[in-house]
Structure 1
Amino acid sequence: MNAPRITAPVTGAVGRFFAGAGLLLRGLGLYVRSPGLMLLGVIPALITAVLFGLAFFALIYFVDDWTAAVTPFADDWSATARRLTRVIAGLALLGLAGMVGVLGFTAVTLVVGDPFYEKISERVEQRCGGTPDAVEVPFWASLRRSTADSLRLLAISVPIGIALFAAGFIPVLGQTVVPVVGATIGGWLLATELVGAPFYRRGKGLAQRRAALKADRPTALGFGVAVFLCFLIPLGAVLIMPAAVAGAALLARRSLGQPTVLSRGGQRSVEPS
């Protein structure tokens, strides 16, 4: 009989950050193990991506009008200063749309594809030994609660996004530090949103999953930022969404102190939290 191989725990904030990003890679592994299930998860993401893509292209098309509307103070400046200010405003506006758009895309896709993503999340948990203390949650009750939580997270992201938009006008910092801060905040909100299903399966709400993720913030950030950056790539959100749901199930287990167990060629590899 093959004995379980225990993986050494990851220590240090940087190590835990990259371990969190690695959870997304492990989610991608399900494309090999369950290709049919994962491809079904692409369908709702594709539907939502078309709608959000059209909105984003409309924003790009009218970006000159929008930047002029938010920078009326530059109307009387010299042509060079006015053009530079509005280029910076355009970049900041697209950055705001990117952060809010990624979170909005995730919220809508999780609602549209709830049966598919619930199945993916459950499959991951089954392969990790099942869900301890699972509770039966009626579909409509779960849908209402997840929708309400997603709307609350989006409501948080909008004022943060506006503040980052304003900070984007600061020379140098607005084009270097602000995008990093935006990706970090967006990643945190994204991780909080994606782990909803595993926590609901245990009868835990938004406040409880926030507290659990805060206990190992570097891991949650590593996962969330990796997903956030992938979602910014054209078609990345469509292809990565099922893997993000799978990785979120692993993240939820780690944050709750429950080991993940993967089958590897007849052996079982146990990775403690």
Structure 2
Amino acid sequence: MAFVSAYYPATFSYFFSTLANFIAAPFNGLLAEKVEEMLTGNKINDEGLMSVVKDVPRIMAREWRKLLYTLPKAIGLFLLLLIPALGQTIGPFAWFIFTAWMLAIQYCDYPFDNHKVPFNDMRLSIKQKQGKAYGFGMLVSLFTAIPILNLFIVPVSVCGATAMWVQEFKQQHT
């Protein structure tokens, strides 16, 4: 029972972050759009605020898609933690790797979604550059553990993922 209480704060923060990402998704997409415009000098969307309002249902559906992608893996990792010795040995490392991948998926999705790249295509593109994706996700994960700094990590992560989109993925999807 002690290991369950040890993972309670991490589980709570993960679900709180998921809820916060649902609420912030349209704004994060807009931030990714503006950052990309600054980096490339090209206008992404000329329709203004009304296009963002019109895209909210699609953006929310995309967030649900990410949640459905995450849940089976998270449940599997939780079940791994229930295995005596093995779960407590491998579980934290596996959870950190999983978190890094999911953070890469979460934040890279905003610029991909701005260009209407389907979720599975985005996932496969990121998988082709796993080293960069895991490195990005690990840094985000580590910075979320630092008090005060973790308050700014979401917009910084959106900006970083957008910069990675411009440098690594944009040519492939335009």
Pick the TM interval, shorter chain. Answer: 0.7 to 0.9
Q: Distance in 1 between matches of 2:81 and 2:73?
A: 12
Contact 1:99 1:183 in 2 (8 A): no
Distance 1:120 1:139, change over 3 A: closer
Distance 1:200 1:211, change over 3 A: same
Q: Specify the SS of the correspondent of 2:117.
A: coil
- Number of residue pairs matched by the alignment: 168
**Per-residue deviation at 1:213?**
0.7
Please identify runs of 4+ aligned residues in structure 1 that moved more than 6 A.
Answer: none
Structure 2 match to 1:21 = none
Structure 2 stretches of 5 or more lacking a match? Answer: none
Distance 1:102 1:208, change over 3 A: same
Structure 1 match to 2:23 = 108
Alignment of 1:194-209 (within 5 A): 194-209=107-122
The TM-score, its normalising length taken from structure 2, stands at: 0.77
Name which structure has the greater RCO, CA cutoff 8 Å, separation 6+. Answer: 1
- Structure number with the higher helix fraction is 2
Percent of counterpart pairs with the same letter? Answer: 24
1:173 to 69, 81, 86: 86
**Per-residue deviation at 1:245?**
0.9
CA deviation string 1:84-143 (max 9, x = no partner) = xx10222244444344443443333334xx1xx3454234323432359x4667213422
Structure 2 match to 1:224 = 137
> Is 1:213 the equivalent of 2:132?
no
Structure 1 stretches of 5 or more lacking a match? Answer: 1-85, 259-273
> Is 1:142 the equivalent of 2:58?
no
Structure 2 match to 1:91 = 6
Q: Specify the SS of the correspondent of 1:213.
A: helix
Structure 2 match to 1:151 = 64
Q: Distance in 1 between matches of 2:147 and 2:89?
A: 22
Q: Distance in 1 between matches of 2:14 and 2:93?
A: 11
Contact 1:146 1:196 in 2 (8 A): no
> Is 1:126 the equivalent of 2:37?
yes
Contact 1:230 1:240 in 2 (8 A): yes
**Per-residue deviation at 1:230?**
2.3
**Per-residue deviation at 1:219?**
0.5
Q: Distance in 2 between matches of 1:225 and 1:141?
A: 33
**Per-residue deviation at 1:246?**
0.5
- Structure number with the higher strand fraction is 1
Distance 1:191 1:131, change over 3 A: farther
**Per-residue deviation at 1:197?**
2.7
Q: Specify the SS of the correspondent of 1:151.
A: helix
Q: Which has the larger radius of gyration?
A: 1
Structure 2 match to 1:43 = none
Q: Specify the SS of the correspondent of 1:256.
A: helix
Q: Distance in 2 between matches of 1:120 and 1:215?
A: 25
Distance 1:141 1:194, change over 3 A: farther
Aligned AA for 2:6? L
